A and B are shown apart, each in its own frame.
Chain A
């Protein structure tokens, strides 16, 4: 049973195996580190709102919990933009800067 895409669509064409392995390690490290930060950062929000009164305040008629919550929704989008820029640069062969 054939599974997955043909190598020329998404697979490696880097000739040097060592270079490719290093690129894959870097890719995995960036992805997993950023994912861990995202998960911990996100889960901090319900922990803080549920167990503390830090976000209970009101500023100008708007709940602080909501202000932080809106940021929790917008920040991942900015993170996604940054990751895509990095991934596109790596794909073009520009590497890390």
Chain B
């Protein structure tokens, strides 16, 4: 066991618990619990958004992928700022104006009906639980590698902490933890960049140049595989860039801000952080290749997940290794807290309050159900993580992005922008997108291997257009049904888009 690393992790967890305790005093009702009573400022929400997005998988996975795979690893980094620009342009502000606690609220503002809300909540749960399982498996494996703690112990401790954060602190506590984690992660990455730059004589891109001269230009150039591989790359980036607009734990952040201007400002703040963070990761990857070595990185972990901590160890000894390990574990905890809030909202607010009890639930009861749901979802995700310990985490991540890009994203977009969209189209889009995204993964090489019926590992290239097609066909089918029309579109557009003039 690495005692220094464990002590740093314990110290960071203690800080998050203090933040949770402080936040619990402001977590008094359902509004506080789910959306922090929409009183978060632009800067704070921007840092929290960055906290949601800058995952351990990004820091460890991309650094390792570049160290071992060169340019192929860079594809995992390049899409995030573009995804957030799309979010800013088309979804953030109207979602903020239409939504209340969950993504389903924004759709329900136009189309009431328990069936649609139920399907929307189901999509949210599928995406969130897949994401949670990824975090739990990643956390368990990393705790083994970084701290010497066993997988079940790590998953149990992290699951319990996640439940405590959300049970007591709600969205307020989650926001504080995300901000703390984002500042910590950015500081650590900046410190590592300074050390790498000093190592290469003051040239930030020196490690890339050194890698090219030592290992050949092919390590810094795009690779050209077969047609299937190229289409998989395009499918990956399409799923990523569109899927982020459908990720519930990211999108509910826009329900926490005071006004549209704060929503825009928060994306801008987050995007500056992403541009810095994701531009730096390839530099770390090549620095790890040069300083740690390909064989040593592979010896730790076949996927290269320890390349960043090992680079830190090479540059700053065990103390820096321990700091990176501590920051990584805090990062996982913060992402899990965000996921827990989004998924417990889908259960308590959408499924229990609206679908099951038809709205006849007091706010106090809704808060209680939300807290219990958060704990229950944590238990389910931990059990799945124990059962799926050997599953490829990157594969699960791609499934989550593809499901989000094929279900919640098209329905949110069409609800806000398409006058002739109707309830039948929304249900068809959600069901069609969900079935195609999950179905194509089950028929693909990650599940069936050489017997795969569908050649791509990432289904977004097919499932996203199919989700839109289903929504369009469903809307055509429901055109003659007045009950499917929902609220007058002009009224919805005024709520979603009209700007409030400032005096």
**B is a partner of A:** yes
* A66 partner residues in chain B, CB cutoff 8 A: 71, 74, 208, 220, 282
Instruction: Indicate if the CB atoms of A43 and B234 lie closer than 8 Å.
Output: yes
Given A58-B212, A91-B501: A77 in contact with B275 (beta carbons within 8 A):
yes
**Identity of the chain B residue whose Cβ is nearest the Cβ of A93 in the assembled complex:** B501
Once the chains are docked, how many angstroms separate the CA of A79 from the CA of B268? 10
Which of B144-152, B187-195, B491-499 touches A?
A: B491-499
Instruction: Indicate if the CB atoms of B89 and A65 lie closer than 8 Å.
Output: no
B471, chain A: closest CB distance, angstroms: 16
Instruction: Indicate if the CB atoms of A80 and B268 lie closer than 8 Å.
Output: yes
Inter-chain contact total with CB atoms closer than 8 Å: 216
Name B78's contact: one of A14, A39, A69 (CB within 8 Å).
Answer: A69
Once the chains are docked, how many angstroms separate the CA of A13 from the CA of B494? 9
Instruction: Indicate if the CB atoms of A83 and B88 lie closer than 8 Å.
Output: yes
Instruction: Indicate if the CB atoms of B89 and A5 lie closer than 8 Å.
Output: no
Instruction: Indicate if the CB atoms of B260 and A10 lie closer than 8 Å.
Output: yes
Given A35-B89, A42-B79: A24 in contact with B354 (beta carbons within 8 A):
no
Instruction: Indicate if the CB atoms of A32 and B502 lie closer than 8 Å.
Output: no
Once the chains are docked, how many angstroms separate the CA of A23 from the CA of B274? 32
Name B499's contact: one of A7, A27, A63 (CB within 8 Å).
Answer: A27
Quick one: which of A27-51 are within 8 Å of B by CB? 27-28, 31-32, 34-35, 38-39, 42-43, 45-47, 49-51
Instruction: Indicate if the CB atoms of B500 and A80 lie closer than 8 Å.
Output: no
A60, chain B: closest CB distance, angstroms: 7
Most buried by B among A11, A14, A55, A90: A11
Determine whether B356 belongs to the interface, using a CB cutoff of 8 Å to chain A: no
Majority secondary structure of chain B interface residues (helix, strand, loop or mixed):
helix
**Identity of the chain A residue whose Cβ is nearest the Cβ of B245 in the assembled complex:** A35
Given A73-B275, A76-B81, A88-B261: A46 in contact with B220 (beta carbons within 8 A):
no
A49, chain B: closest CB distance, angstroms: 4
Given A10-B96, A13-B500: A62 in contact with B209 (beta carbons within 8 A):
yes
* A93 partner residues in chain B, CB cutoff 8 A: 501-502
Quick one: which of B60-116 are within 8 Å of A by CB? 71, 74-75, 77-82, 84-86, 88-90, 93, 96-100, 105-106, 108-109, 112
Determine whether B395 belongs to the interface, using a CB cutoff of 8 Å to chain A: no
Instruction: Indicate if the CB atoms of A24 and B497 lie closer than 8 Å.
Output: yes
Instruction: Indicate if the CB atoms of B497 and A27 lie closer than 8 Å.
Output: yes
**Identity of the chain A residue whose Cβ is nearest the Cβ of B210 in the assembled complex:** A61
Once the chains are docked, how many angstroms separate the CA of A81 from the CA of B233? 29
Most buried by A among B278, B490, B493: B493
B265, chain A: closest CB distance, angstroms: 7
Given A39-B241, A43-B234: A1 in contact with B354 (beta carbons within 8 A):
yes
* A7 partner residues in chain B, CB cutoff 8 A: 495
A9, chain B: closest CB distance, angstroms: 6
* B268 partner residues in chain A, CB cutoff 8 A: 77, 80-81, 84
A interface residues, tally (CB under 8 Å):
61
Given A77-B275, A80-B267, A84-B264: A2 in contact with B495 (beta carbons within 8 A):
no
Determine whether B271 belongs to the interface, using a CB cutoff of 8 Å to chain A: yes
Determine whether B238 belongs to the interface, using a CB cutoff of 8 Å to chain A: yes
* B230 partner residues in chain A, CB cutoff 8 A: 50-51
Once the chains are docked, how many angstroms separate the CA of A10 from the CA of B100? 12
Instruction: Indicate if the CB atoms of A31 and B90 lie closer than 8 Å.
Output: yes
* A49 partner residues in chain B, CB cutoff 8 A: 71, 222, 233
Instruction: Indicate if the CB atoms of B234 and A23 lie closer than 8 Å.
Output: no
Once the chains are docked, how many angstroms separate the CA of A69 from the CA of B105? 37
* A55 partner residues in chain B, CB cutoff 8 A: 221-222
Once the chains are docked, how many angstroms separate the CA of A91 from the CA of B229? 46
* A38 partner residues in chain B, CB cutoff 8 A: 82, 85-86, 89
Once the chains are docked, how many angstroms separate the CA of A39 from the CA of B278? 19
B277, chain A: closest CB distance, angstroms: 10
Instruction: Indicate if the CB atoms of B89 and A31 lie closer than 8 Å.
Output: yes
* A74 partner residues in chain B, CB cutoff 8 A: 81, 275, 279
Instruction: Indicate if the CB atoms of B100 and A21 lie closer than 8 Å.
Output: no
Instruction: Indicate if the CB atoms of B499 and A87 lie closer than 8 Å.
Output: yes
Given A4-B495, A66-B74: A92 in contact with B279 (beta carbons within 8 A):
no
Instruction: Indicate if the CB atoms of A20 and B498 lie closer than 8 Å.
Output: yes
Quick one: which of B16-32 are within 8 Å of A by CB? none
- Using CB atoms and an 8 Å cutoff, list the residues of chain A in contact with chain B: 1-5, 7, 9-14, 20-21, 23-24, 27-28, 31-32, 34-35, 38-39, 42-43, 45-47, 49-51, 53, 55-58, 60-63, 65-66, 69-70, 72-74, 76-77, 79-81, 83-84, 87-88, 90-93
Given contacts A76-B85, A80-B267, 8 further A-B contacts (CB under 8 A): A1-B354, A4-B98, A5-B97, A9-B258, A24-B493, A27-B497, A35-B86, A66-B208
Closest 10 CB pairs of A and B: A61-B209, A12-B498, A10-B97, A63-B220, A50-B230, A76-B85, A49-B222, A76-B81, A42-B82, A91-B499
18 A-B residue contacts at CB 8 Å?
Answer: A1-B359, A3-B105, A4-B99, A5-B96, A9-B38, A39-B86, A46-B237, A50-B224, A58-B217, A69-B74, A69-B78, A73-B81, A76-B275, A80-B268, A84-B265, A87-B260, A91-B261, A91-B499
